[in-house]
């Protein structure tokens, strides 16, 4: 597992140091990283695999390990240790989006105003994400992140994807111009996720509001627009 203490911030805020950003951390509470190579196969989702093991593809066939029939390893590189996220809500939303895309389910291990930790529901899987509130309260910092998913296939088949809320779907399809039915088909074909019509419709509505704004917000902006238009015509 990569730790923040071993690297520099990837996008530090001006005037902040690592010691100022992080709360005091007890390393005894962190799990040891398992550096073993994983068994990988071509992923239908947008994730990268561990570069240390190509699953035998270079020889034209897969190398089968003892647990190959029950486990696939996914390496999710969507978070970076030291990365600063604007808010806890954004951190949770990003974790949900990646959970849906990878067809993996996570559980919240710890959550309070200063710390947020999620882990894979599979007890044998080491995937784990931990964020902490910065000392200056200017954002949340990715403190530690284990990107390898080693989930049991049997467990994956039982995944209910509670993270697949309408808001999560909205951030996945906000730039998609398809109608609701085609959006349902896209989500199933691309992510293997069956979404009922009303949830896809609601996600589409929220996505449109994210991109274009709500009618209410547009109406509230009319006075400013009219004033600028008047000034331009003077």
Q: What is the C-alpha separation between 57 and 51, in angstroms, rounded?
A: 12
pLDDT averaged over consecutive 10-residue blocks of the chain (234 residues)? 51 41 38 35 33 38 33 55 89 83 82 92 87 88 86 60 70 76 80 78 81 79 86 84
Strand partners, 144: 3, 130
**Paired tokens of 196:** 């009922």
Say if strands 2-3 and 71-75 run parallel, antiparallel, or are unpaired. Answer: unpaired
∠ Cα 92 98 100 (to 5°): 105
Parse the chain into domains and list their residue ranges: 2-160, 164-234
- Give the DSSP letter string of 85-114: ES-HHHHHHHHHHHHHHHT--EEEEEE-SS
pLDDT of residue 2: 53
Q: Which residue has the tokens 């071509």?
A: 42
pLDDT of residue 37: 33
Half-sphere exposure of 92 (CA within 13 A, CB side): 16
pTM of the model as a whole: 0.48
Query: E strand or H helix at 200, and its extent?
Result: helix 197-212
Phi, psi angle pair for 125, to nearest 5°:
-95, 135
pLDDT of residue 211: 77
């Amino acid at each position: 597992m990569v730790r923040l203490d071993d690297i520099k911030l990837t996008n530090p805020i001006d005037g902040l140091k690592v010691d100022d950003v992080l709360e005091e951390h007890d390393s005894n509470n962190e799990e040891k990283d398992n550096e073993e190579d994983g068994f990988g196969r071509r992923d239908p989702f947008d994730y990268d695999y561990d570069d240390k093991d190509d699953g035998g593809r270079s020889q034209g066939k897969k190398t089968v390990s003892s647990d190959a029939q029950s486990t696939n390893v996914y390496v999710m590189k969507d978070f970076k240790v030291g990365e600063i996220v604007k808010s806890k809500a954004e951190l949770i939303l990003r974790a949900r989006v990646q959970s849906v895309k990878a067809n993996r389910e996570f559980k919240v291990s710890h959550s309070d105003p200063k710390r947020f930790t999620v882990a894979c529901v599979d007890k044998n899987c080491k995937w784990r994400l931990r964020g902490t509130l910065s000392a200056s309260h200017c954002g949340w910092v990715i403190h530690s992140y284990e990107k390898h998913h080693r989930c049991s296939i049997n467990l994956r088949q039982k995944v209910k994807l509670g993270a697949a809320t309408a808001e999560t779907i909205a951030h996945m399809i906000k730039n998609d111009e398809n109608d609701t039915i085609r959006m349902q088909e896209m989500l199933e074909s691309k992510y293997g996720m069956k979404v009922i019509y009303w949830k896809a419709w609601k996600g589409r509505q929220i996505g449109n509001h994210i991109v274009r704004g709500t009618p209410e917000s547009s109406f509230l902006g009319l006075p400013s627009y009219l004033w600028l238009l008047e000034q331009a015509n003077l």
